Structure 1
Amino acid sequence: MNKYIKILLIATLFSASSCSDDFLTIYPTSSQEAGGEATEGAILANLGSCYQILLFDSYADYQYNSVVLMSDLRSDDIFKGGQNAGDQAFLYRLSQLDANAEELPEGLWNIYYSGLSRTNNAISACENAIGVSEEKVNQYSAEAHFLRAYYVHWLWKFWGNIPYFEEDLPEPYMSEQYTADEIYTQIIEDLDYAIEGDKLPMQTTPQNDGRATKAAAMMLKARVVMYQQDQSRYNEVMADMAEIISSGDFELADYASIWTRDGEFGSGSIFEANHLPEGKDWGAAWQGYGTNLPAFISPNELLSGVDQLSGVANYIGGWGFGPVREQTVEIFEDGDARLPASINYFEEGTYTPRFQNTGYFMAKYAARAGYNEAPYTQDLNYENNVRIFRYAETLLNAAELIVIHGVAPVDGVSAQNCLDMVRNRAGLESIPATAENIKLERRREFVGEGMRFWDVVRWGDTQQLNDNLPEFSSVRTWEPYMKYLPIPQSEIDKTEGEFKLQQNEGYN
């Protein structure tokens, strides 16, 4: 567990830029003044602060912000749960497609703008490097460009039309608001830089687990291009997927093993956030290595940790958010190994049912005994790594590009073979590689990983998000403007004059 990222973060924890009300303000680290010469140590200090942002999305800025949960809540896979509708009320509004400018996941806005600020610092340090080899500078710069693209892509997905900056801002520390299409262009520029010229290895060595790779940059480019429906770049993305497949650096691991401690950075993992069970506290909103997601999504007051679907007996209780919808369980075929690895079911009477209870809970990041040895604030300090990109997504991306988007196969990669590989690993027989089957396979493969909502939106299948389930307090109707959340009113109020933020359409 003593991975590269932790070593780097310990050295930078107190020197890294922080996030505050002035989210557009860039603060240089103490080891390098903005625009000044940067030694390798200064570059690594800045880079370490960039990676730290990956560890903040479950709890930071005094809010619960798991990007996995924030994404899935608007999907048709889970409900909000918790004690009642008013428990974390902004999450209920999010789940009901009813977010407003005062109640929404503002923590993600602050976290990822802090990420943008920090990555800008790291890129600036690389541009002013002294005494560092060109090869290392190129690698560090590519890592920073990838991370900037990753953080900005979440702001882009959630809010669309956002402020953006790449340099220190003069007073009053405000930036121009760009359209979603303009932000997309900026993200692609960063990813092209990270991918081109083999600045990054396709896969890391074990001692560097958690660092950005060429494969991770290719996977992020695929997500962004496919979400934008940018057909002009589909061939590029297909070539990237084929390169990952033909590299031989990745293979599909046993599905259940992916989500355990021993499965971290496994053969099917392309990029992960490396959480460790220490360092976070309620009163320290911007430090530590643990994750709160397992506590958030596990059943309340669990007495028996035996999951009835898998037989695994080491689960422990949590807060009861994110119960899985019954219809999600029904999408799995008999014998699909992904069902017991993705969804937990506990016997009635072994836990306390909460709001929107279905009896089913998300399993992949569930709280497990022995995965939290923090001496304090254990609910914030689980060690479950968040799997950001997996090889299975590479295969299903390739299948989708070929079948749904009509892209020509590359290097002998076929849609049928890609689909078969994913299904064979799940213990299932081959089925035709049709658009319907590929979409359904993607849903099965990524339950609980924050993928479903974004897929439904980009496919135009948003009618599936409509609900008329009063028995589960979920009645909602999708409208096209809901693709983006409202810009936080608190951020609009901070801007003025030519920099005044404009609210997204549909929320005025």
Structure 2
Amino acid sequence: MKTNKILVIGLLAAATVLATGCSDSFLEVENPTGEPLEEYYTTDERIQEALIAAYDPIHWADWGLGQYNALNIDAEIMGDNFWVGGATKTDMQNWHMLFNYEGNENNTLSSLWTVDYSGVKRCNDLLKYLDWATDITEENRKSYEMQARCLRVFYYNMLWHYFGNVPFYLENLNEPPYTAPQLKADEVYNNLIVELEAVIDSKVLPLKYYKNEKGMD
């Protein structure tokens, strides 16, 4: 009798698995937040969230991702206006190597690379989200667009300044192998000038933001 019960339970379990396997419903995954991106970034308030996120990497650089890279020092080292000291050559070794225009896989300005491409990614995200926004004025839409494009120029300018030849793209890489053309330094610079001139010619951004619009000092 006990053997028969075990057999029945086993058959019921197998039937359950087979029944589930024959349905596609188990492949459907619900968004844990309840809202897909396309439905979330539709209002002015939420587009502003994406804009703030695009500004955020600006203050990551000095001491972020486990590496100290003060922007006012890194460039001076490369320009021979700053003598790298420290206890030994292993004290801030990436600076010592930078002083001699050297680098390896462990000692580069790697944090700046990640910081600035994070900024590029967030700017591209915002520009994409603007296409989904329905509850937003045209004036604000243009302002957010030009702020994102100007910010993207800033991030690429930092990459150009420190690395020269860099991968360049104006839309995020969404499919494998996630590669973008590496442009020469002069090509990067020329692209940035074109983009920056377009922002200036739009006459959308003010020459100065007032204190209540500046965010945190």
TM-score by structure 2 length? 0.76
**Within the alignment, does 1:122 sit opposite 2:126 as a pair?**
yes
Counterpart for residue 76 of structure 1: 80
Which deviations, in whole Å up to 9, do the C-alpha atoms of 1:246-274 show, x marking residues without a partner? xxxxxxxxxxxxxxxxxxxxxxxxxxxx5
For structure 2, the residue ranges without an aligned partner over 5 or more in a row are 1-33
- 2: CA distance between counterparts of 1:31 and 1:145? 27
Instruction: Kindly state the Cα deviation for residue 33 of structure 1 after the two structures are TM-superposed.
Output: 2.2
Instruction: Kindly state the Cα deviation for residue 31 of structure 1 after the two structures are TM-superposed.
Output: 7.3
Which deviations, in whole Å up to 9, do the C-alpha atoms of 1:488-507 show, x marking residues without a partner? xxxxxxxxxxxxxxxxxxxx
**Within the alignment, does 1:198 sit opposite 2:206 as a pair?**
no
- 1: CA distance between counterparts of 2:35 and 2:114? 24
Q: Which has the larger radius of gyration?
A: 2
Which deviations, in whole Å up to 9, do the C-alpha atoms of 1:90-115 show, x marking residues without a partner? 11111233334542111111110111
Match of 2:170 among 147, 166, 169: 166
**Within the alignment, does 1:41 sit opposite 2:45 as a pair?**
yes
Match of 1:92 among 78, 86, 96: 96
Give the ranges of 4+ consecutive aligned residues of structure 1 lying more than 6 Å apart after TM superposition. Answer: none
Counterpart for residue 188 of structure 1: 193
> SS of 2:188's equivalent?
helix
Instruction: Kindly state the Cα deviation for residue 70 of structure 1 after the two structures are TM-superposed.
Output: 1.1
- 1: CA distance between counterparts of 2:35 and 2:144? 17
> Is the CA contact 2:164–2:185 (under 8 Å) kept in the aligned structure 1?
yes
Match of 1:175 among 152, 162, 180: 180
The size of the alignment, in residue pairs, is 183
Match of 1:135 among 139, 144, 149: 139
> Is the CA contact 2:169–2:180 (under 8 Å) kept in the aligned structure 1?
yes
Match of 2:115 among 97, 111, 115: 111
For structure 1, the residue ranges without an aligned partner over 5 or more in a row are 1-29, 211-273, 276-508
Instruction: Kindly state the Cα deviation for residue 42 of structure 1 after the two structures are TM-superposed.
Output: 2.3
Alignment of 1:406-425 (within 5 A): none
- 2: CA distance between counterparts of 1:52 and 1:31? 24
- 2: CA distance between counterparts of 1:35 and 1:74? 47
- 2: CA distance between counterparts of 1:148 and 1:192? 13
Q: 1:186 to 1:42 in 2, by over 3 A?
A: farther
**Within the alignment, does 1:55 sit opposite 2:59 as a pair?**
yes
TM-score by structure 1 length? 0.34
Instruction: Kindly state the Cα deviation for residue 53 of structure 1 after the two structures are TM-superposed.
Output: 0.7
Q: 1:204 to 1:58 in 2, by over 3 A?
A: same
Identity %: 26
> Is the CA contact 1:42–1:125 (under 8 Å) kept in the aligned structure 2?
no
- 2: CA distance between counterparts of 1:205 and 1:79? 39
Instruction: Kindly state the Cα deviation for residue 140 of structure 1 after the two structures are TM-superposed.
Output: 0.8
CA RMSD of the aligned region, Å?
Answer: 2.3
Counterpart for residue 4 of structure 2: none
**Within the alignment, does 1:147 sit opposite 2:151 as a pair?**
yes
Q: 1:51 to 1:31 in 2, by over 3 A?
A: farther
> Is the CA contact 1:32–1:42 (under 8 Å) kept in the aligned structure 2?
no
- 2: CA distance between counterparts of 1:68 and 1:34? 40
Instruction: Kindly state the Cα deviation for residue 154 of structure 1 after the two structures are TM-superposed.
Output: 0.9
Instruction: Kindly state the Cα deviation for residue 60 of structure 1 after the two structures are TM-superposed.
Output: 1.2
Q: 1:56 to 1:37 in 2, by over 3 A?
A: closer
